[in-house]
Amino acid sequence: MERALLDELEQWRSHGVEGHFRGKMPWMPYHQFLSEQTAHIAGAKPEEVVVMNTLTTNLHLMMVSFYRPQGSRFKIIMEAGAFPSDQYAVESQVRYHGLDPATAIVEIAPRAGEDTLRTEDIVRRIEEEGPSTALVMFGGVNYYTGQFFDLPAIVEAGHRAGALVGFDLAHAAGNLPLQLHDWGADFAVWCSYKYLNSGPGGPGGVFVHERHGANPDLPRFAGWWGYDEGSRFLMQKGFRPMQGAAGWQLSNAQIFSFAAHKVSLDLFMEAGMKNLREKSLKLTAYLEFIIADLNSRGHHYKIITPNDPAQRGCQLSLQTGPDGKKLFDHLTQHGFICDWREPDVIRLAPVPMYNRFEEVWELGRCVIKEIKTAYGKINIDLPQAVERFATDSVEHEKSLSLW
């Protein structure tokens, strides 16, 4: 990644503004150098995706085109407890159209006593709202619970209701294999600095299904970089969009953050989402096993993430009880980068790209140490079963071809 950034500095030093046209990767068409890999991540055709801006900006741009309330069809259906930025974006879009968020936003919450949503409840709610729904706007993976929603079922229900369907895939892109084209989603947005490892403030990704990308009359907020490439520099009046998702670009690419993103995308391409998912299923199952084992020794970390592997990526959210923050600090001090969410949740995400089975095992050990310190009277030792499983898995890891 450092090399890629230095290359761009060198390009700038040697060519100045001519870097737009010269060198291995001229800046002018730079976004195209990321299309194939981005399409792989999204399960899309290369023309259906583009890298630009950042997530929330892109969500607004997509909603300008795809949230077009008309008469009695004006509602947006979303999951309750969506990431705050999505809530604010949706709320402000609703107000922008002169509507009241209290009536225009429908939030679907888990049943009483449950932590996650049932697909049947999502589908039923969309059916109930039916003709009043303009847009179904769901997360792919809920950032808090780690639940991966049944996206094709949501697309189907939304379309049956006559609505458009868009997704925020911030926690799904690079975490789970996606098939946005085949699922028929209308649009999707995601960021590149979570599972896609592209560094702070990295650029966002956008998917627009080809049935919309081919429609130049679709209303949008336009900029010169979305203008038809062949005649962009004639600088004429009257916006003529590029075909595909590229027609939503506003500005020329931020080369340094795009360069970092490209390095990461190339790694995903090389590893392949299918292989990563295969390892991820095992790695997260192993973490689940370690936690279950801790619980069987008298502890009570509740995993609020669904235990059905099809309904989650690599993240497990642990409800820790009152001593959770101490445990979190202990883990952080020992080099485990996890995430604390108020009031008592630790998010753990063994990432298949770079985490190893052994590290999950070490995390288990680290938790035990903390428990021993905190509750010295309880004698807990890493049980043999855990050791055995760990050894097996390490061996298994070695046998995976590349990953």
Ligand X SMILES: *Cc1c(COP(=O)(O)O)cnc(C)c1O
Tell me whether strands 105-108 and 75-79 are parallel, antiparallel or unpaired: parallel
Q: Is 257 one of the binding residues for ligand X (CB under 6 A)?
A: no
> Smallest distance, Å, CB 132 to ligand X?
25
Type of residue found at 233: F
* Interface mask toward ligand X for 201-240; x: CB under 6 A: ---x------------------------------------
CA distance 40 to 43: 5
Q: Which of 32, 64, 68, 85 binds ligand X (CB under 6 A)?
A: 85
Q: Is 56 one of the binding residues for ligand X (CB under 6 A)?
A: yes
> Smallest distance, Å, CB 204 to ligand X?
6
Neighbours of 251 (CB within 10 A): 11
Omega cis (within 30) before 69 = no
Closer to ligand X by Cβ: residue 23 or 223: 223
Q: How many CA atoms lie within 13 Å of 227's alpha carbon, on the beta-carbon side?
A: 15
Residues between 179 and 198 with contacts to ligand X, criterion CB under 6 A:
191
CA distance 248 to 208: 9
Taking a C-beta distance cutoff of 8 angstroms, is the pair 88, 245 a contact?
no
Residues between 120 and 179 with contacts to ligand X, criterion CB under 6 A:
139, 143, 168, 170-171
The region of 16-24, 51-59, 286-294, 386-394 touching ligand X under the rule CB under 6 A is 51-59
**3-state secondary structure (DSSP) of residue 319:** strand
The region of 52-60, 71-79, 244-252, 311-319 touching ligand X under the rule CB under 6 A is 52-60
Residue with tokens 């609703």: 94
Q: Where are the beta strands (DSSP E) in 210-261?
A: none
* Interface mask toward ligand X for 326-355; x: CB under 6 A: ------------------------------
Q: How many residues bind ligand X (CB under 6 A)?
A: 13
As a 3-state breakdown, the chain gives helix, strand, coil percent values, each rounded to 5, of 50, 15, 35
Q: Which of 8, 47, 48, 86 binds ligand X (CB under 6 A)?
A: 86
Q: Which residues bind ligand X (CB under 6 A)?
A: 54-56, 83, 85-86, 139, 143, 168, 170-171, 191, 204
